[in-house]
Amino acid sequence: MGSAVMRRLGGEGFGQVLTATRDQLDLRDQAAVNYWFRANRPEFVFLVAGTVGGILANSTRPAEFIYDNMLIHATVVHAAHLFGAKKLLYLGSSCIYPRECMQPIKEEHLLSGALEPTNEPYAIAKLCESYRRQYGSNFISAMPTNLYGPNDNFDLTSSHVLPALIRKFHDAKTEGRREVSIWGTGAPRREFLHVDDLADACLFLMRNYDAAQHINVGTGEDLTIRELAETVASIVHPEATLAFDTSKPDGTPRKLLDVARLHGLGWRHRINLSEGIASSYQWFLDHYQDLRATGRVAALA
Ligand code: GFB
């Protein structure tokens, strides 16, 4: 998300984009974050930082996810308030909605039921609304659907499904194998948004949305994990066959966002799924050596 927002702001000609990498600034450290905000006085804040991961990472590292994400979000929102940021956009995730939620999921369905156990820790956030109510801060929050695109994580133990499938079909093809293991039953349905569309939506919301209610960001279209695997196979390794590993969790049966509110504001995604998968696979091929060198395609399933 971060690199996509940087690409989009650069494309828009914004010259004064301030960033701080994890090594430069620990966003869980209030004193350090306050010092950074006092020194830099950002007017507009895109809060896209967090500890993220796929279904396995979320269910095996819950303490790390809840500790990091609650601290990062609380610390940055509080500093933005203390040092007078004009506007802040916080990005959550569609996993914030209940597991058995009406589909498509409306913003009002938030906290209307039990969360999916595999990603419960990651979902507690009503931060921006509280600062708006108490201090009148123009802080907004958006809930994007599952994301994919350039700079994704292709590590098979911590990644999300789409980069994992690109990697698995690629490895099978280069190793002359046909069978590819797909986690779960293949029946769950998921919606996917390309990160460049998300970055475009972030700029649009920073310019045009000033309401307390969080807003969904997605395509409004979903497919089964089996259909997704068949689509990736058709692009990366058409001879492949699918083997479903039902020892792995399916997670939420479906999480299709209702994007009527965003469409009503005049924003729609532009990158369709097949096009996005093809360009993401090309990015993977172009960066394969770097990914290997930095260990982001290290672990084998
Ligand atoms: O993308 P994913 O890890 O996250 O899994 P969630 C989506 C679906 O793909 C699940 C299946 O049903 C997985 O079982 N799947 C099949 C695979 N093969 C694979 C594979 O090789 N790797 C992975 N990772 N999945 C996450 C939340 O849920 O969504 C996070 O846990 C966050 O907190 C993220 O919200 C956006 O969509 O199930």
Per-residue pLDDT tens digits for 277-289: 999 999 999 998 8
Measured in degrees and rounded to the nearest 5, phi and psi for residue 244 equal: -90, 125
Beginning with the edge strand found earlier in the chain, give each strand of the sheet holding 215-217 in spatial order: 44-47, 87-91, 139-144, 215-217
- Report pLDDT digits (tens) over 88-123: 999 988 888 888 888 899 989 887 887 766 555 555
Q: Provide mean pLDDT across the span 146-151.
A: 96
* pLDDT at residue 86, as a whole number: 97
Hey, which of 1, 51, 52, 55 would you mutate to test ligand 1's pocket, going by the most ligand atoms within 8 Å of its Cβ?
55
Ligand 1 atom 35: the closest Cα is on which residue?
A: 95
Ligand 1 atom closest to 53 (CA): 30
Q: How many residues does the chain have?
A: 301
Say how far apart CA 4 and CA 165 lie, in whole Å.
21
In the reported structure, the alpha carbon of residue 269 is separated from the centroid of ligand 1 by a whole-number distance in angstroms of 22
Q: Which two tokens stand for residue 102?
A: 């009406």
* pLDDT at residue 119, as a whole number: 58
* pLDDT at residue 296, as a whole number: 62
> Which string of DSSP letters, residue by residue, matches 109-174?
GTTSSPPPGGGGGGG---HHHHHHHHH---EEEEEE-EEE-TT----TTTS-HHHHHHHHHHHHHH
